[in-house]
Amino acid sequence: MTVQDSSVLATLPVLGETALQTYPTATLYVVATPIGNVTDITLRSLHVLTLVDAIACEDTRNTAHLLQRFGIHKPLVAAHMHNEREAAEVLVRRLQAGERIALVSDAGTPGVSDPGAKIVDAVIAAGLRVVPLPGASAAITALSASGLVNDQFHFVGFLPAKGKQRETVLNGLRGVTATLVFYEAPHRIVDCAQALATAFEPTRQVVFARELTKLFEEIHRCPLADAAAWLQADAHREKGEYVVLLEGAPAAADAGDAEAERILNILLAECSVKQAASLAAQITGRKKNALYERALALKGD
C-alpha cells in the first residue's frame, strides 16, 4: 500500500462509524485478537479496547505489547487457565458495578482452545450481557485456504499428549464425515502426523497450516501417507504453531450402512470376523457377504 492509498483509507467516513455505535455498560466484550499479523485486528475491536474500563487477558505481557502497538493503555486483569474461575468472580463483580470489560486471549478468539469459556459462562449465569466481536481464528483461516470441499467441519482442538489417550480419541473420529480440525504444538507435530496415519486411511488428504498470517506462513496439502515424510524433510517445519485439517470419512450410503458398521465394530471387539458378519447380518438384515468384506477391512485398519 502506498502512502497515498493509506491516506485515502484514513479519510473514509466508515472509520467513524465505530464511535457512533452503542456500547452498553455492565457488559463483557469478547474480543478476537490477531493470530500473527497485527493488522488483522478489526476497527471495532480497537475502538472497544479504548472504551472499556479494563481488559481481562491470558498473559498480561503479551496483551500489553499488543496494546502498545496501537497506543492503548488500559488496566489488565490476568485471566488464564490456572485462575479462570477466580478471575470470573472478580470480573462479574466489576460488571455488576456497571463497568465494561474486554476479554482477550494471546491470539485468536477467546474460549476456542484458549481460556475464556468459563468466564463467559459465569457472566451469563449472573444475568449479565456478553457481546462478541468477531475476528481472527486459526481454524477458520486454515479451512478457508485448504481447498477441502466439505460444508461441515468438526473442531477437535489439541489432542491428548499421551499416546494411548490420543489413539482412543482418534479411533472415535474415524467415521466422522466432516473435515477434522486439530491444533498442534510444533514439538508434537511429527507424532501427531504418525498417529493420524495409524488411525486413518493413508489416502485421506491432510493439510498442515503453519505460522498462519506470519512471515513464514506455510500451508501444505498431501495424502496422509506422505505427511510424516514431508514434515521431517525440513527441520524448520517442526517450528511454529499448527492447524492440521484432515479430510473426513466418506459418507455412508445411508443411515442403515452407518448403523451396520457401528454394530460390526462392536461385534469385532468380541467375535471373529466371520461371527461378527453373521451376527450383524441377522441384526440388520444386510447381506452377510458384504458385511464380511467390510469386517475384513475394519479389522485390517
Residue 1: pLDDT band (50, 70, 90) is very low
DSSP secondary structure code for residue 100 in this structure: E
User: What pLDDT was estimated at residue 62?
Assistant: 96
Residue 4: pLDDT band (50, 70, 90) is very low
Tens of pLDDT, residue by residue over 129-163, are 999 999 999 999 999 999 999 989 999 999 998 98
Q: What is the pTM of this model?
A: 0.79
In this prediction, what percent of the chain has a pLDDT beyond 70?
95
Distances (CA, A) of 3 to 6, 14, 40, 92, 95: 5, 19, 19, 45, 42
User: What pLDDT was estimated at residue 215?
Assistant: 93
Residue 301: pLDDT band (50, 70, 90) is low
Tens of pLDDT, residue by residue over 208-219, are 999 999 999 999
Tens of pLDDT, residue by residue over 101-111, are 999 999 999 99
User: What pLDDT was estimated at residue 256?
Assistant: 66
User: What pLDDT was estimated at residue 253?
Assistant: 52
Task: Tell me what the pLDDT averaged over the chain comes to.
Answer: 92
> How far is 122 from 138, CA to CA, in rounded Å?
25
Nearest by Cα to 100 from 50, 41, 43: 50
More confident residue, 247 or 251: 247
User: What pLDDT was estimated at residue 298?
Assistant: 82
Task: List CB contacts of 241: < 8 A, sequence separation 6 or more.
Answer: 138, 183, 184, 185, 186, 210, 211, 212
**Alpha helices (H) along the chain:** 3-10, 17-20, 43-51, 60-69, 84-96, 117-125, 138-144, 163-171, 189-199, 227-232, 255-268, 273-284, 288-300
Residue 225: pLDDT band (50, 70, 90) is very high
Residue 65 has pLDDT above 80, yes or no: yes
User: What pLDDT was estimated at residue 252?
Assistant: 58
- Rounded average pLDDT over 89-108: 97
- Rounded average pLDDT over 155-184: 94
**8 A C-beta contact, residue 192 and residue 217:** no
